[in-house]
Amino acid sequence: LSLSSQISSREGEVSSALFCTRATHSSTDDRRLSALAASTRKLRAVLMRALITILALLSVAAFAAVSGQPAGLNAARMAKAESLAKEVSLNGDFSEVRRQLVSACGLKNSYQTGHCFGDYNHVDCCTMQMEYSTELNNNRVAGMHATNPLAHVINPNSIQDSSFADAQGGSWCTCHIGAGNNKQDVCHIQFQSKIGFKLVWCGADYDLAILVDDDGVLINSGKPTGSLPPLS
């Protein structure tokens, strides 16, 4: 081969090598850009969900400020619980009465709700906006656990379908420690809501069961039979 032919051949090899190098770099860059775009889309989706949640909470808070109602109040769920509580027969065996009260509160009868309305303390049917199920006590309710986290039991045990007024709402049988004229209890302070009903034991032998609403108005009464809850 002549010198010029050899030079041309060598130039062709160099050009091919440069093209391959550029193509490889371009392919790598494309993959990086594609990965970056995917990450950006995921981040945008996460931020959008967070923004929607924040706006929902701000909307609830704004409504509460205007209406004078607690921010965590779920009025439809509270009204449904009160309505169902009025229909519960309190004169049967207490084991069945308790199950009916759990259901009336918008809760599933499960091992996690086995204590609900079964002692002197867990007698408040607290209904709430589900966003407020993660609220903590933060030492606000005297006599209670400092944080009192309950979202892990509220979420799986709350009846969340159209049969209970609001598929998005939550319920729990909260402690009535702190209840009274100032309503410094878990439902009102920690969850910033109101009770659908409260179970109160009355009479000389504490065998008369009455249900009252958030204002203390009597909505049902009866004398359950069988094994009743301990007094303390």
* Contact yes or no for 101/117 (Cβ under 8 A): yes
- pLDDT value of position 161: 85
**CB-CB neighbours of 220 under 10 Å:** 20
The dihedral built from the CA positions of residue 111, 74, 131 and 141, taken in this order, carries a sign that is negative
What confidence tier does 168 reach under pLDDT thresholds 50, 70, 90?
Answer: confident
Which pair of tokens denotes residue 147? Answer: 């944080």
% of the chain exceeding 70 in pLDDT: 78
* Contact yes or no for 169/160 (Cβ under 8 A): yes
- Residue 41 to residue 38: CA distance in whole angstroms: 5
- Residue 168 to residue 151: CA distance in whole angstroms: 14
- pLDDT value of position 15: 56
- pLDDT value of position 66: 47
- pLDDT value of position 46: 73
pLDDT at 90 over 60: yes
H or E element at residue 155: helix 151-157
pLDDT at 177 over 60: yes
pLDDT at 87 over 50: yes
pTM (2 decimals)? 0.71
H or E element at residue 195: strand 194-202
* Contact yes or no for 98/173 (Cβ under 8 A): no
pLDDT at 94 over 70: yes
In this structure, of 44-48, 101-105, 221-225, the range with the lowest mean pLDDT score is 44-48
Measure the CA dihedral 214/220/222/226, to 10°. -60
pLDDT at 107 over 80: yes
pLDDT at 62 over 60: no
The pLDDT mean for the chain works out to 85
- Residue 150 to residue 116: CA distance in whole angstroms: 13
Average pLDDT rounded to a whole number, residues 21-29: 60
* Contact yes or no for 130/155 (Cβ under 8 A): yes
Average pLDDT rounded to a whole number, residues 207-229: 97
pLDDT at 166 over 70: no
pLDDT at 4 over 60: no
Average pLDDT rounded to a whole number, residues 40-61: 66
Residue ranges per domain, the chain? 1-68, 75-222
pLDDT single digits (tens) 114-163? 999 999 999 999 999 999 999 999 999 999 999 999 999 999 999 998 87
* 3-class secondary structure, 196: strand
Which pair of tokens denotes residue 149? Answer: 């986290």
Which pair of tokens denotes residue 57? Answer: 């909470």
Which pair of tokens denotes residue 74? Answer: 């779920």
pLDDT at 97 over 70: yes
